[in-house]
Chain A
Amino acid sequence: MTNVIIEVSKYVLIFLMAVYTYLNFSYFRFHDVWEQNRTCARQNVMMFFIHLIAYAILFLKSEDERVVLFYLAQLVFFTAYIGLYRLFYRNMSRILVNNMCMLLCVGFIMLTRLSFDKAIRQFLIVAVSALITWIIPFIMDRVWQLAKIPWIYGFIGLGLLVGVWIIGNNSFGAQLSVTIGGIAFQPSEFVKISFVFFVATMFYQDTDRRTIILTTAMAGAHVLVLVLSKDLGSALIFFITYLAMLFVATTDVLYLLGGLLGGCGASVLAYHLFAHVRTRVEAWRNPWADIDNRGYQITQSLFAIGTGGWFGMGLYQGMPYKIPVVEKDFIFSAISEELGGIFAMCVILICVGCFLQFVMISAKMQALFYKLIAFGLAVVYAVQVFLTIGGVTKFIPSTGVTLPFVSYGGSSVLSTFILFGVIQGLYILKKNDEEDEEE
């Protein structure tokens, strides 16, 4: 009987998710605030139904009462977050908050299925992060000195990266984190944001040759340290983000082309210089040749996605735990296996929707500083999503980055909260300005 319920609920979940995703894009059509609000309210309905049905199944399968309590705790959290954010920031972007919650919700569902303890930890981190980052829009509205301290952003960021490189913990052959007081931090997640602030402040001050050279040198230093720490995914994120920001600040296509050419050259060089780069590329080109070893993770991921197919196996019907570190970098494969390829595609589309929201906010900002920040963060987000999903589906070589808001991991969650908080802050700034002008 439970099997039949899971079987049917699978299709219901996919349907609700598809409607949610559709609403996410239909939102762009409406300019009328009332219509926008109605779309967002419908999205909330979809999300809460998905949440409810998924947890009902998780409970049916696990028969663990703690799941019910956990569900209720999440329900309170989501309701409070969505409700209070609106109450506190009248001019906030509802759809951005909705998407945050939807992605978090998908993450919670999958993590609860994979490991109840990790799901609880994740929830605590999310709750704390939500609380801390609540204040960001408030700060941004009042502290405009943020635009004046480029070298502080630059050196703090670089310092953190160098620190990790030297004393970092080794996980899967890369130095990614430092442990302080029993908690492992992954500074590169935060440096992404400070880096965007650094570049934005530099180019806000000037875009003459001297500034460009200085900024490029600093950006190059960031990327180099990451490559040396074997954190290739982050290195790529920083590199592409910098190029994109440079292009927008100077509007000079030559920089973009030159940078891309340089990047290709550097990639070839890195391929020949570093064994770990070659390993990744080999594992991507033919994972079947070394299926026991280097190809193991990616082939297990492909088995998961392939066996799940379009409609998925249903929660608890697959074997996502066969994929090493599934709850972090490979969570997308678990989603695709159990909730289905269509559901997983919706997750991609929601992420693309967030990116487009970021870009629109960036385009609307008047001041170049804010424009660059919004745009830089948009690119950071897009590259990260692309790298992780492209990696686990073998579209591109795997680089080991997390799926923001969905993957397990404290640093990833908190930094993504900050990222969305900053964007939300910019959106609110803009709306407040518009209101002032109207008056």
Chain B
Amino acid sequence: MRRKQTQRLDSNKSILGIAYVFVGLFLCLLVYFGYFLQVRSQTVINNSYNARLDSFADRIVRGEILSSDGQVLAQTTVADDGSERRSYPFDSLFAHVVGYSDHGKTGLESLANFYLLSSHVNLVERTANELAGDKNIGDNVVTTLDVGLQKVASDALGDHRGAVVVIEPSTGKVLAMVSKPGFNPNTLAQDWDSLISGDNTKAQLLNRATQGLYPPGSTFKIVTMLAYIRQHPNTWQDFTFDCDGSYQVGDYKISCYHGEAHGHQDIRQAFANSCNGAFASMGLDFELGGVRTMANSLLFNSELPISIAYSKSSFVLAEDAGDWERLQTAIGQGETQMTPLHNAMITSAIANGGILMKPYLIDHVESAVGETVQKFLPASYGTLMNSAEADTLSALMRGVVTAGTGSAVRTDAYAVAGKTGSAEFETGKETHSWFTGFAPVDNPQIVVTVLVEESGSGGKVAAPIARKIFDEWFSR
């Protein structure tokens, strides 16, 4: 009897113990559920697969998209008969980055869909509207975009196909994003069929800044340089190369741009003059695993920390890569492909002491009467390189402008650091022209990345376009 009594007590202790565990599990579940509702849900539900958001439009007039200084980039006007029309006062200027909201949603129209279709005007007014059966006015989204820079960038690019990205490196704010050729979102409905037609080779709907994949050409020498520094931490400064215009390895030959012979080059000169032979020789020397890891940590083959549609850049250098692949990859040809945005992000990390700030487009959301609903703060993605490496690359890139291929952005008004690129993509065609850089070199305010398709050398085409953007910024 006594034994039975104790056993029962013990059983009850076990029962309570297990009950506590379960209650604990349910508490975790409740906390997680609350966290999801309060914190996670906004990011989760703003997804094009969430059909629920569309039904919000039945009760809310879509809000406006504004530039950083409050100019209207997209607005909805309601006619007397209640019909709504979305219009874009700048026509094609912001076509890709602001996007469109009929025919599916792209750009900011997609990214900010949830905010545009939420209303935070006061409760009394909202209830009154509900009672009267009227729609409420959705919130406005204030972007980081700068109308002045966007205009200059777009004009400078002119009729070329290509893209421009301007980022503030210390915050990640995207100040301008241009892609050409563009389209007019105001006449999208009329133009739609011809835009998506199979005969159309211009791909106007593609946002080349974030989705266009191009061989990086000599702008990739920034990456090759970093790899070389990491693999030769004590001796990289002693690198020299004698350039006679082409570099012969076995049956393979790497030529400098237009076969120019650079003569005896130290590391700074080789970088400034963009000597293909010198960098190709570094490629022969690559420790493959380390280079791949580094490329991935610089966000090749990786998701980019940005919310609008983009393409993943690719870097391929297989374990059994032969000399040819090594030579080509080191000078940014080969199979490497990257987007202008990605190039701007790497440059931005260099300008910001190695730390990449996540690029973002929405500064804050405000109600129709101007009260801030939600503010977005700069957020760091992480350290892409240490600050010594960033300083080294920064100095080398300064050399490109003062004594190399980047003379187009050489000026006494401000000090630019940058890298040009002329990327071959098809024999017999002009090269894609690249420039990526930042200024002022001591205290970087903006990063500018320019890509011009099939137009010639980076120094002659892309760099002058960047120059106009820097001029605009520093004339203020």
In the assembled complex, how far is the CB of residue B105 from the closest CB belonging to chain A, in whole angstroms?
A: 16
B14 at the interface (CB under 8 A from A): yes
Q: How many A-B contacts at CB < 8 Å in the complex? A: 119
In the assembled complex, how far is the CB of residue B307 from the closest CB belonging to chain A, in whole angstroms?
A: 12
Question: Is the beta-carbon distance between A303 and B10 smaller than 8 angstroms?
Answer: no
Q: Mark A238-251, 1 if CB is under 8 A from B, else 0.
A: 00000010011101
Select the residue from A307, A352, A355 with max chain B CB neighbours within 10 A: A307
Q: Which residues of B contact A309 (CB under 8 A)?
A: 37, 41
Question: Which of A32-40, A146-154, A181-189, A362-370 contacts its partner?
Answer: A362-370
B257 at the interface (CB under 8 A from A): no
A215 at the interface (CB under 8 A from B): no
A155 at the interface (CB under 8 A from B): no
Given A303-B44, A318-B52, A319-B51: A248 and B18 within 8 A (CB)? yes
Residue of B nearest to A344 (CB): B33
Question: Is the beta-carbon distance between A248 and B11 smaller than 8 angstroms?
Answer: yes
Q: Which residues of A contact B131 (CB under 8 A)?
A: 1, 4
Given A306-B37, A395-B33: A363 and B52 within 8 A (CB)? no
Question: Is the beta-carbon distance between B51 and A395 smaller than 8 angstroms?
Answer: no
Q: Which residues of B contact A178 (CB under 8 A)?
A: none
Question: Which of B22-30, B75-83, B278-286, B359-367 contacts its partner?
Answer: B22-30
Question: Is the beta-carbon distance between B29 and A390 smaller than 8 angstroms?
Answer: yes
Residue of B nearest to A299 (CB): B49
Q: Which of B11, B28, B127, B133 contacts A368 (CB 8 A)?
A: B11
In the assembled complex, how far is the CB of residue A208 from the closest CB belonging to chain B, in whole angstroms?
A: 14
How many chain A residues touch the partner (CB < 8 A)? 48
Q: Which residues of A contact B47 (CB under 8 A)?
A: 291, 299, 303
Question: Is the beta-carbon distance between A247 and B19 smaller than 8 angstroms?
Answer: no
A108 at the interface (CB under 8 A from B): no
Q: Which residues of A contact B308 (CB under 8 A)?
A: none
Question: Is the beta-carbon distance between A303 and B45 smaller than 8 angstroms?
Answer: yes
Given A7-B130, A303-B45, A303-B47: A395 and B32 within 8 A (CB)? yes
A140 at the interface (CB under 8 A from B): no
Question: Is the beta-carbon distance between B33 and A359 smaller than 8 angstroms?
Answer: no
Consensus secondary structure, chain A interface: helix
Q: Which residues of A contact B19 (CB under 8 A)?
A: 355-356, 359, 378
Question: Is the beta-carbon distance between A303 and B29 smaller than 8 angstroms?
Answer: no
Given A1-B131, A251-B13: A393 and B45 within 8 A (CB)? no
B40 at the interface (CB under 8 A from A): yes
Q: Mark A353-397, 1 if CB is under 8 A from B, else 0.
A: 001100100110010100100010011001000100110011100
Q: Complex formed: what's the CA distance from A379 to B131 in Å?
A: 49
Q: Mark A217-256, 1 if CB is under 8 A from B, else 0.
A: 0000000000000000000000000001001110100000
Q: Which of B10, B22, B42 contacts A382 (CB 8 A)?
A: B22
In the assembled complex, how far is the CB of residue B462 from the closest CB belonging to chain A, in whole angstroms?
A: 35
Q: Which of B10, B50, B127, B130 contacts A251 (CB 8 A)?
A: B10
Question: Is the beta-carbon distance between A389 and B29 smaller than 8 angstroms?
Answer: yes
Residue of B nearest to A364 (CB): B12
Q: Which residues of A contact B42 (CB under 8 A)?
A: 306
B36 at the interface (CB under 8 A from A): yes
In the assembled complex, how far is the CB of residue A228 from the closest CB belonging to chain B, in whole angstroms?
A: 27
Question: Is the beta-carbon distance between B12 and A3 smaller than 8 angstroms?
Answer: no
B148 at the interface (CB under 8 A from A): no
B34 at the interface (CB under 8 A from A): yes
Q: Complex formed: what's the CA distance from A368 to B12 in Å?
A: 10
Q: Which of A248, A291, A344 contacts B15 (CB 8 A)?
A: A248
Question: Is the beta-carbon distance between B11 and A302 smaller than 8 angstroms?
Answer: no
Question: Is the beta-carbon distance between B29 and A393 smaller than 8 angstroms?
Answer: yes
B316 at the interface (CB under 8 A from A): no
Q: Which residues of B contact A378 (CB under 8 A)?
A: 19
Q: Mark A326-354, 1 if CB is under 8 A from B, else 0.
A: 00000000000000010011001100100
B7 at the interface (CB under 8 A from A): yes
Residue of B nearest to A379 (CB): B18
Residue of A nearest to B50 (CB): A303
Q: Complex formed: what's the CA distance from A344 to B33 in Å?
A: 10
A426 at the interface (CB under 8 A from B): no
A285 at the interface (CB under 8 A from B): no
Residue of B nearest to A389 (CB): B29
In the assembled complex, how far is the CB of residue A321 from the closest CB belonging to chain B, in whole angstroms?
A: 10
In the assembled complex, how far is the CB of residue A67 from the closest CB belonging to chain B, in whole angstroms?
A: 23
Residue of B nearest to A385 (CB): B26
Question: Is the beta-carbon distance between B15 and A359 smaller than 8 angstroms?
Answer: yes
B53 at the interface (CB under 8 A from A): yes
Given A303-B52, A306-B45, A356-B19: A251 and B37 within 8 A (CB)? no
A305 at the interface (CB under 8 A from B): yes
Q: Mark A246-279, 1 if CB is under 8 A from B, else 0.
A: 0111010000000000000000000000000000
Select the residue from A247, A249, A306, A352 with max chain B CB neighbours within 10 A: A306
A310 at the interface (CB under 8 A from B): yes
Residue of A nearest to B16 (CB): A363
Q: Complex formed: what's the CA distance from A302 to B45 in Å?
A: 7
A66 at the interface (CB under 8 A from B): no
Residue of B nearest to A378 (CB): B19
Q: Complex formed: what's the CA distance from A307 to B15 in Å?
A: 39
Q: Complex formed: what's the CA distance from A349 to B34 in Å?
A: 13
B8 at the interface (CB under 8 A from A): yes
Residue of B nearest to A306 (CB): B41
Q: Which residues of A contact B18 (CB under 8 A)?
A: 244, 247-248, 375, 379
Q: Which residues of A contact B12 (CB under 8 A)?
A: 363
Q: Which residues of A contact B133 (CB under 8 A)?
A: 1, 3
Q: Which of B28, B30, B44 contacts A345 (CB 8 A)?
A: B30
Question: Is the beta-carbon distance between B11 and A249 smaller than 8 angstroms?
Answer: yes
Q: Complex formed: what's the CA distance from A435 to B177 in Å?
A: 81
Q: Which residues of B contact A158 (CB under 8 A)?
A: none
**Which residues in chain A, 273-329, are within 8 Å of chain B measured between CB atoms?**
291, 299-300, 302-307, 309-310, 313, 318-319, 322
Given A247-B18, A251-B14, A375-B15: A306 and B130 within 8 A (CB)? no
Residue of B nearest to A7 (CB): B130
Q: Which residues of A contact B40 (CB under 8 A)?
A: 306
Q: Which residues of A contact B13 (CB under 8 A)?
A: 251
B200 at the interface (CB under 8 A from A): no
Q: Complex formed: what's the CA distance from A389 to B19 in Å?
A: 18
Q: Which residues of B contact A359 (CB under 8 A)?
A: 15-16, 19
**Which residues in chain A, 1-40, are within 8 Å of chain B measured between CB atoms?**
1, 3-4, 7
Q: Which residues of B contact A291 (CB under 8 A)?
A: 47, 49
Question: Is the beta-carbon distance between B130 and A3 smaller than 8 angstroms?
Answer: yes
Residue of B nearest to A250 (CB): B14
Q: Complex formed: what's the CA distance from A137 to B14 in Å?
A: 26
B55 at the interface (CB under 8 A from A): yes
Q: Which of A302, A375, A386 contacts B44 (CB 8 A)?
A: A302
In the assembled complex, how far is the CB of residue A398 from the closest CB belonging to chain B, in whole angstroms?
A: 14
Residue of A nearest to B17 (CB): A247
Select the residue from B8, B26, B40 with max chain A CB neighbours within 10 A: B26
Q: Which of B22, B33, B41, B127 contacts A355 (CB 8 A)?
A: B22
Q: Complex formed: what's the CA distance from A206 to B155 in Å?
A: 89
Q: Complex formed: what's the CA distance from A356 to B133 in Å?
A: 47
Shortest Cβ-Cβ A-B pairs, 3 listed: A306-B41, A306-B45, A251-B10
User: What are 9 A-to-B residue pairs whose CB atoms are below 8 Å?
Assistant: A251-B13, A306-B40, A306-B45, A307-B41, A307-B52, A319-B52, A341-B33, A359-B16, A359-B19
What would 8 more interface pairs be, CB under 8 Å, given A299-B47, A302-B41, A359-B19?
A: A7-B127, A251-B10, A303-B50, A307-B41, A348-B29, A359-B15, A389-B29, A390-B29
Residue positions of A touching B, CB distance < 8 A = 1, 3-4, 7, 244, 247-249, 251, 291, 299-300, 302-307, 309-310, 313, 318-319, 322, 341, 344-345, 348-349, 352, 355-356, 359, 362-363, 366, 368, 371, 375, 378-379, 382, 386, 389-390, 393-395
